[in-house]
Structure 1
Amino acid sequence: MKAWVSCTGAALLARDAADWAAQLSYAQAGQLSEVQRAQRESWRALIVTLQAALREAGGESWQVLLEVEMLRLERRIDAVLLTDRAVLVLEYKHGATGFAAPDLAQVEDYALDLFDFHAASRAHPVVPLLLASGAAAPVNQWPIFLPGVTTPVLRASPASLGALLRGIQAAIPAPAAPLDAAAWEAAPYRPVPTIIEAARRLFDRHGVEAIATARADARNLTRTTAAIRAAIGQARAEGARRVVFVTGIPGAGKTLCGLNLAFGPAAEGSTAFLTGNAPLVAVLRGALERDAREAQGRGARQPRREARAVLQNVHRFLEHHVRHPAEAPPEHVVVFDEAQRAWDAAQAGRDTQRRSSILTTSEPGHMLEIMARVPGWSVIVALIGNGQEINTGEAGLAEWGRVIGASWAKGGGGLWGAVAAPRALSAAEPAQRLAEGHPPWLTLEEDLDLTVPVRSIHHERSAQWVAAVLEERPEEAAAIAADRSTGGGLPFFLTRDLGALRAGLRARVRGLRRAGLVCSAKAKRLRAEGLGAQLHGADDEVVNWFLNRWPDVRGSDALEVCATEYACQGLELDVVGLAWGGDFIRGAQGWQARRFAGQDWQRVASPETRRYLRNTYRVLLTRARYETLIYVPRGDEADRTRPPAEFEAVANYLQRCGVGVF
């Protein structure tokens, strides 16, 4: 952990508070940040309070860290006190006369961040404390001090802080292995950013290498990024055209990898990030615009232009260049997010209510033709979410292979080639395979496959468990659920009660974490359960749902509107409440896909449509960073569209797969 000041309590007591404040001011100036007079006074007042409290608590041997940097949150903890038995996380509010809920949530979030991502903070109690300089001495509800983040947040005034620290130290038994302050500071801190946090950091040209993974032994995104850069370098040197396929399980960091390539500190010149995922574009643009307005004090227009230049809708990109056949894109490299969802020829050429299509072939076909206009060389980095095609007309990996193969043959073996991991050839379903066999235009590279999830914080086999559940392997799913060797317990829980679902979600969103409800867009009869409002992906609505916080009722935290797969694919929440619909139930032969027409359910006969619906639940089950609470309704005997036996079968199967009931 990096702190601007690290010293023993005795050393803190040995110097005047004004000297320490000057040292902190010097550290801030070193980051090219202006030091305000109010900030210097706040530091001086905090150190005066800490000095008095340490004397009273006998904390001369403790380690004191001031302004501890938190990479993921782009903030700093005011103070961390390391005793021999606890990590005390202190947030100081200069001039505050009370303990506001946002301030309590802020310091609790700091403590949670340390526990989740700092290896040396997991064996001891992590105690969040809020210190308000102008408050009267509060009465605290005393927590149970066990390893983990204690709750509730403890509150203190300057007059009561010393007694509180002394009481905490007395309440925690001396551990068999005392906390080693030097080892704590040296221990790795590897936070996993949300995709929104990563985009904000990258937009400011900061790297994400240090926040790529929470596990020291996990394959780092650096290897995949290096493999992509090597392929780009080879194409540039040879004057060639390549499609680089990056495959991976849900939540493995494909989008993060693409964002880093497009506009990280070592971006490949002018690189565009293209995606057909309109909600993802809207939310990331919205986050960048808000960040520029609020943090940088800029107007809305310039941040909006900058965000739109970086994040582009792939459908509009293709239409523009089809309309202007003599125009070459300015970028030699484009990143195509969720490239498996690119439209086939039929969908690409279909008119909609809002616009007439001008595309004449599949989107992969148009993409190759457009990028072939770029002088000299060009590379398409195609990010592939395995098993995440969710809509009619999504071509899958096979269409990319078809158009590359046709281009190779037409160009005499010299127009377009591809680089991909072996996974691209081995999928069970033909639509997800790049080619049959090993075609001459394909070079294999193992490091282009991301196999370790970075979204699921505490259980790295969550995506494997979801695959086993959806692919009729309950024994394998149960074995994964029982395996504690690769993380905590299975982060999936079952309830049959909607009130319990909402209560469970609210209980789990400590600090600044956020929760939300999700469901399938085809789960039409959830309306009878009181879940009729669905978020499908309209720009303003989806931006507000993902970015606004309670008590704003438009935000996900209100737990009123369910985001469908179309609104949440590619995005994430800390805790998810999944409402299971009657569109995907258990039948005699396993999972049965249905659609609601008129006043009855109808079985889906098309294998392709059944696959889309299974993938819908794959997307919904992999949106959470921490836990997914699954609500399976009880149904109603009086309603033929909601027979209890159907839902009972789903609940029983999930329990057979290892899901616990809460």
Structure 2
Amino acid sequence: MRKEFVGYTLSQLKGMLRDSFVNELGTFTTSLDLKYTTTQKKSWGDCYDYLKTEFKHITKYDESILLFEYCLPFTNYRRPDVIMLFEGTVLVLEFKRKDNSLTQDVDQLRGYLNFLRRYHDETQKMGLDVKGALILTTSTDNLVQHCDGYTLVKGNGLIHLIEELLLRRCLDEGRSLTWANSAYEPSKNILKATYSMFKSNDLSMIKNISEHELRNILKVLYEITVEKHNKKRLVFLTGVPGAGKTLALLHTLYKLNQEGFNAVFLTGNGPLEKVLSYLLTNASTGAEGDSLIKGVLAYKKAYFDRYNKQPFTNAKFLATIFFDEAQRAWDEEKMGALYGMSEPELILKVQDAAFDKRGYTNVVASIGFGQSIYKGEENEFETWVRVIEKEEYSDWEIYAPATLKNKLSHLSNVTYVDDLHLDTTIRSNFINTTPFIEAVLAADINVAREENRKLREQGYFIHIVDNLESAKSYLEAHARETGDKFYGLISSSNIRLMDHQTYLGNARMMQQTDSQEVIGKWYFKDSSKLDAVATEFVCQGLELNIPLLYFGGDFLMENGNWVVRPTKKYEDKDRTVRNIYRVLLSRGRLGLFIYIPKNTRFEETKNFFQSIGVNMS
């Protein structure tokens, strides 16, 4: 049973000790693997005091159920403070221990209200109106003020608001629990608007290839997943960096949902999730990118009971999962004892439960080799192999490209489909940069020189710069001539602080934890300012027309070989740092600038690139 809230009737709350209430909310928060502060405890106590005082002499609402810290479904535990359920209305109460509200307080409340209206299945099914109140508990004004889309209550006034809204009858316990255990379900209007935006808009940063050019893989994915086939199907899609794996998944995702099949796109790449959501959101049309694009963490929280190590029994499971960059799935060690299994196994367990409920299920996993840059991801595809080797998953039909035969040949339930491998990059307008990158990483001068020559002939350029101003001048001139401002700074996250200050100045190091707005705007508008640096964690899975790659001190040429000196610890530092540069070197769609500062430490690295025909600019 999904129970991600603390619920009491108002009568129970009135008879409860303050410390008991605060401690129970603390215990609940801890059960979610979240921490809480002394300030949070004070806020809970403040909420308790306010409600007890407000309803002290009112008994007609005693049997109403109050949901505290209700976890909105399929989110990373976004939680309104209190929800009250009435016949026809959901009332969301957000408490603030202050006299005056801030813009972020209002935005937070509006976000909860919008979610319940647009994504909460039971709210839609029951036809409930959603209202919200921002309650400032320390104010002595005692007034109720109706604002744009919410009500501001300063001090006492909640009872007045409830009566003003004519909220006389509480939702009974049975329907309240049904509502509380709701599934995530985007409204049809949102899905329609977002699909329309994906199909009709340019979206050049993620959609630099037409549906026609991906027709073979799209046809295969559609035919495998579209029907209710009474089977469990696991599909592996592989390809070189920039081959269009993400785009193929997105095309199929929106097509299936447009035809009424229930599917979501999952990624463990937080920045990719944020950029896709940002680019596919348009307030004027109602398109919301995050309606079908979700992080793996949110999926785990929504569908898997960590304590019983089984899927929730009452969940409304998804029919189809498109898991992008599935080579990054966590192994059992990274998942930890609380889960007791790897991410691939958890996903198959959940989708097993989906099969039991729906009669069919699909998991489509895109795999990019040599791109694992996080601890716990080093095993790449082997983590999946260890799971599908188990007898309990032998009833899954597996579809894979022939390139995976060497890893799957011992399994009898695999069908090989050549079109499931994309062997040509689209990131550079169909110019395949992979042989060049692999030759560079292998320090093979002859092959790298020849591959660089081929790239130049096809119009893909690579230059070295030894100072930031030279790069800026070139890129600004390029922008003036072409109108193309889609360039920006990228770097390994292992850059030393002193090097950052010396060679990148005040450019901010972006984090994968930055907001959707910050990361999305950087890609969409601000990258050309060169005042922020995207690390491998931020730019993996995305591209710029012309990246300016700071080639820092963690990967340097010494005596004819690459030497790795990361500032962080890795289980296999050589492999991981090479993967980092494999990601960074493949971010360019039109070309690449390699920034190697003037310093004797970097001299041999600069000489290596010049020896393979990469010239100073």
Shorter-chain TM band: 0.5 to 0.7
Amino acid at match of 2:537: Y
Identify the range of structure 1 (568-577 vs 258-267) with the bigger mean alpha-carbon deviation: 258-267
Q: CA deviation at 1:209?
A: 13
Q: Residues of 2 paired with 1:483 and 1:614: CA distance? A: 23
1:473 is aligned to 444
Q: Residues of 2 paired with 1:605 and 1:518: CA distance? A: 21
1:172 is aligned to none
Given candidates 548, 566, 574, the residue that maps to 1:610 is 574
Structure 1's 257 and 605: CA in aligned 2 closer, same or farther, altered over 3 A?
A: closer
How do residues 437-452 of structure 1 correspond to structure 2 at under 5 angstroms? 437-452=409-424
2:248 pairs with 1:277? no
Q: Residues of 2 paired with 1:270 and 1:215: CA distance? A: 25
Q: Residues of 2 paired with 1:205 and 1:214: CA distance? A: 12
Q: Residues of 1 paired with 2:405 and 2:388: CA distance? A: 14
How do residues 23-62 of structure 1 correspond to structure 2 at under 5 angstroms? none
1:541 is aligned to 518
Q: Residues of 2 paired with 1:574 and 1:385: CA distance? A: 21
Q: Residues of 2 paired with 1:652 and 1:200: CA distance? A: 52
Whether the 8 Å contact between 1:506 and 1:515 is mirrored in structure 2 is no
Structure 1's 486 and 367: CA in aligned 2 closer, same or farther, altered over 3 A?
A: farther
Equivalent residue pairs, number: 408
2:162 is aligned to none
Query: For residues 16-64 of structure 1, what are the alpha-carbon distances to aligned partners after superposition, in whole Å with 9 as ceiling and x for unaligned?
Result: xxxxxxxxxxxxxxxxxxxxxxxxxxxxxxxxxxxxxxxxxxxxxxxxx
Q: Residues of 1 paired with 2:262 and 2:295: CA distance? A: 16
Given candidates 389, 406, 425, the residue that maps to 2:372 is 389
Whether the 8 Å contact between 1:520 and 1:565 is mirrored in structure 2 is yes
Normalised by the size of structure 2, how large is the TM-score? Answer: 0.61
Q: Residues of 1 paired with 2:201 and 2:255: CA distance? A: 8
Q: Residues of 2 paired with 1:567 and 1:522: CA distance? A: 13
2:492 pairs with 1:520? yes
Q: Residues of 1 paired with 2:260 and 2:552: CA distance? A: 44
Q: Residues of 1 paired with 2:411 and 2:445: CA distance? A: 36
Q: Any idea what SS the aligned residue of 2:353 has?
A: coil
Structure 1's 208 and 560: CA in aligned 2 closer, same or farther, altered over 3 A?
A: closer
Q: Residues of 2 paired with 1:387 and 1:442: CA distance? A: 23
1:88 is aligned to none
Percent identity reads: 28
Q: Residues of 2 paired with 1:585 and 1:213: CA distance? A: 34
Given candidates 461, 475, 495, the residue that maps to 1:491 is 461
Q: Any idea what SS the aligned residue of 1:625 has?
A: coil
Amino acid at match of 1:335: F
Could you say what the CA RMSD is over the residues aligned between the two structures, in angstroms?
Answer: 3.0
Q: Residues of 1 paired with 2:209 and 2:326: CA distance? A: 28
Whether the 8 Å contact between 2:266 and 2:296 is mirrored in structure 1 is yes
Provide structure 2 residue ranges, at least 5 long, that are not aligned to the other structure: 1-191, 306-310
How do residues 1-400 of structure 1 correspond to structure 2 at under 5 angstroms? 202-204=195-197, 206=199, 220-232=213-225, 236-237=228-229, 239-264=230-255, 269-289=261-281, 291-293=282-284, 296=285, 303=287, 306-323=288-305, 325-349=312-336, 358-374=338-354, 375-394=358-377, 395-400=379-384
Query: For residues 67-108 of structure 1, what are the alpha-carbon distances to aligned partners after superposition, in whole Å with 9 as ceiling and x for unaligned?
Result: xxxxxxxxxxxxxxxxxxxxxxxxxxxxxxxxxxxxxxxxxx
Q: Residues of 1 paired with 2:345 and 2:577: CA distance? A: 26
Amino acid at match of 1:416: W
Q: CA deviation at 1:292?
A: 2.9
Identify the range of structure 1 (560-569 vs 519-528) with the bigger mean alpha-carbon deviation: 519-528
Q: CA deviation at 1:253?
A: 0.6
Amino acid at match of 2:329: A
Structure 1's 575 and 273: CA in aligned 2 closer, same or farther, altered over 3 A?
A: same
Q: CA deviation at 1:321?
A: 1.1
Q: Any idea what SS the aligned residue of 1:586 has?
A: strand
Whether the 8 Å contact between 2:203 and 2:279 is mirrored in structure 1 is no
Q: CA deviation at 1:205?
A: 5.8
Whether the 8 Å contact between 2:369 and 2:380 is mirrored in structure 1 is no
Q: Any idea what SS the aligned residue of 2:381 has?
A: helix
Q: CA deviation at 1:360?
A: 2.2
Q: CA deviation at 1:633?
A: 1.1
Structure 1's 521 and 418: CA in aligned 2 closer, same or farther, altered over 3 A?
A: same
Q: Any idea what SS the aligned residue of 1:261 has?
A: helix
Whether the 8 Å contact between 2:238 and 2:366 is mirrored in structure 1 is yes
Normalised by the size of structure 1, how large is the TM-score? Answer: 0.57
2:549 is aligned to 578
Q: Residues of 2 paired with 1:320 and 1:656: CA distance? A: 53
2:609 is aligned to 654
Structure 1's 233 and 206: CA in aligned 2 closer, same or farther, altered over 3 A?
A: closer
How do residues 413-432 of structure 1 correspond to structure 2 at under 5 angstroms? 413=394, 415-425=395-405
Amino acid at match of 1:456: S
Structure 1's 200 and 466: CA in aligned 2 closer, same or farther, altered over 3 A?
A: farther
Q: Any idea what SS the aligned residue of 1:331 has?
A: coil
Whether the 8 Å contact between 1:203 and 1:263 is mirrored in structure 2 is no
Q: Residues of 2 paired with 1:348 and 1:213: CA distance? A: 33
1:37 is aligned to none
Amino acid at match of 2:334: Q
Q: CA deviation at 1:325?
A: 2.0
Query: For residues 518-569 of structure 1, what are the alpha-carbon distances to aligned partners after superposition, in whole Å with 9 as ceiling and x for unaligned?
Result: 0000012333213462112211431231223xxxxxx211111111011111
Structure 1's 215 and 231: CA in aligned 2 closer, same or farther, altered over 3 A?
A: closer
Amino acid at match of 1:526: H
